[in-house]
Amino acid sequence: MPTANQIKYRLGQAKKKFTKLSKEVTAIKKKIQTLESQLKKTQAAEKAMAAKKKAAPKKKTAPKKKVARQKAPAKKKR
């Protein structure tokens, strides 16, 4: 059977561990939030770029006309 001092020591160690873990969890949550906000900004920017590309259609040029080559008149034989 453990003594009262041993139990107090173990309790103190458990509290330290809990505090450390809760700090890590808080830091991880904050990092997740920043990454999610970056993701939202990036997706919004990509969506805007896609909309901008669709809004500005390419200019159509008139089709090139084929130039009909004229045949050279046949040379007369002498």
Helices vs strands, H then E, count in the chain: 1, 0
- Mean of the per-residue pLDDT values for the chain? 87
14-24 tens-digit pLDDT:
999 999 999 99
Residue 3 sits at φ, ψ, to 5 deg, of: -85, 170
Per-residue pLDDT reduced to its tens digit, 17-69:
999 999 999 999 999 999 999 999 999 999 988 888 876 666 677 677 776 67
Map out the domains of the chain as residue ranges: 1-56
* Confidence (pLDDT) at 42: 95
Instruction: Indicate whether 78 pLDDT > 80.
Output: no
Q: The whole model's pTM is what?
A: 0.53
